[in-house]
C-alpha cells in the first residue's frame, strides 16, 4: 500500500516517455513523472521546479512523504535516474526513494503485475495544477541547487574566493 511505482522515462529523441506510459504496458498502478512538465519553465530544459509546483504534482498523483517510491523506466531508458534525482533533491527521503534494477519489460518478464489500456493513474499536467491551494506534500525544496544569479556571482568571484569549483557535465551541444 505504501509502495508507489513511478515511471520516470525520458529520452533525448525518437521516443516519448509520456506516450509510452499512456500506451502501456506499464507496471500496475504506476504514476508518470515528467521531468519536462514538473519543472520551472525556462529556455533550458527540465529545470528544478518550485516547491509549490513539486508539492502540487505530488498531491495530484496522490503521493505522500511516507510512501516508498520505486522509480523505473521503459526498456533502454538511459535517463530514468534524472526523475529519481529530482524527487530526492526536492526532499523525498533516501530511505523512501529507490531505483528499480531493470525496466518495465524486465518487471513484466519476471511476472510482476502489468496493466494495459487506459492508465489507472493518468499522467498529470503541470498547467492544470492549482499552485495556490494548500499542499499535503511538503518538503524543503531543491537542495544544493543554485540559480542563474548565484552562478554568475560564483563565476565572478572565481574558485579561490567563492570556494566552489563549477563543473558542467552536459555535452557541448547542450551547453
Alpha helices in the chain (DSSP H): 17-23, 51-60, 80-89, 104-109, 148-162
CA-nearest of 130, 31, 166 to 87 is 31
Per-residue pLDDT tens for 131-171? 999 999 988 888 888 878 888 998 899 888 888 888 877 77
Task: Average the pLDDT over 16-23 and give the result.
Answer: 96
Predicted TM-score (pTM) of this structure: 0.88
Task: Name the E strands within 12-139.
Answer: 26-27, 31-32, 68-72, 97-99, 114-115
More confident residue, 30 or 46: 30
pLDDT of residue 173: 73
**pLDDT at residue 65 in the model:** 93
Other residues' Cβ atoms within 10 Å of the Cβ of residue 122: 12
* Sheet of 31-32, strand order: 31-32, 3-7, 68-72, 97-99
pLDDT tens-digit readout, 123-132: 999 999 999 9
Strand partners, 71: 6, 99
pLDDT grade for 174, boundaries at 50, 70 and 90: low
Separation between Cα atoms, residue 83 and residue 7, nearest integer Å: 8
pLDDT at 34 over 80: yes
Instruction: Give Cα 129 distance to the centre of its chain.
Output: 16
For residue 175, the model assigns a pLDDT of: 61
Inter-residue contact 82 to 18 (CB < 8 Å): no
As a whole number, mean pLDDT of residues 54-66 equals: 96
Residue 119, number of CB atoms within 10 A of its CB:
19
Torsion of CA 80, 81, 83, 89, to 10 degrees: 180
pLDDT digits (tens, 9 = 90+) for 73-111: 999 999 999 999 999 999 999 999 999 999 999 999 999
SS3 state of residue 10: coil
Amino acid at each position: 500500500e505504501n509502495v508507489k511505482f513511478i515511471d520516470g522515462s525520458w529520452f533525448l529523441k525518437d521516443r516519448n516517455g509520456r506516450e509510452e506510459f499512456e500506451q502501456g504496458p506499464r507496471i500496475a498502478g504506476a504514476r508518470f513523472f515528467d521531468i519536462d512538465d514538473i519543472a520551472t519553465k525556462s529556455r533550458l530544459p527540465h529545470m528544478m521546479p518550485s516547491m509549490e509546483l513539486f508539492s502540487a504534482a505530488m498531491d495530484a498523483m496522490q503521493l505522500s512523504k511516507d510512501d516508498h517510491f520505486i522509480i523505473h523506466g521503459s526498456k533502454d531508458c538511459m535517463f530514468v535516474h534524472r526523475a529519481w534525482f529530482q524527487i530526492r533533491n526536492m526532499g523525498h527521503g533516501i530511505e523512501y526513494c529507490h531505483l528499480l534494477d531493470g525496466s518495465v519489460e524486465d518487471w513484466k518478464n519476471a511476472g510482476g503485475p502489468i496493466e494495459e489500456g487506459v492508465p489507472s493513474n493518468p499522467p498529470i499536467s503541470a498547467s492544470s495544477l492549482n499552485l495556490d491551494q494548500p499542499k499535503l506534500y511538503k518538503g524543503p525544496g531543491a537542495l544544493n541547487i543554485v540559480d542563474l544569479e548565484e552562478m554568475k556571482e560564483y563565476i565572478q568571484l572565481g574558485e579561490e574566493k567563492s570556494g566552489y569549483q563549477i563543473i558542467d557535465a552536459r555535452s557541448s551541444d547542450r551547453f
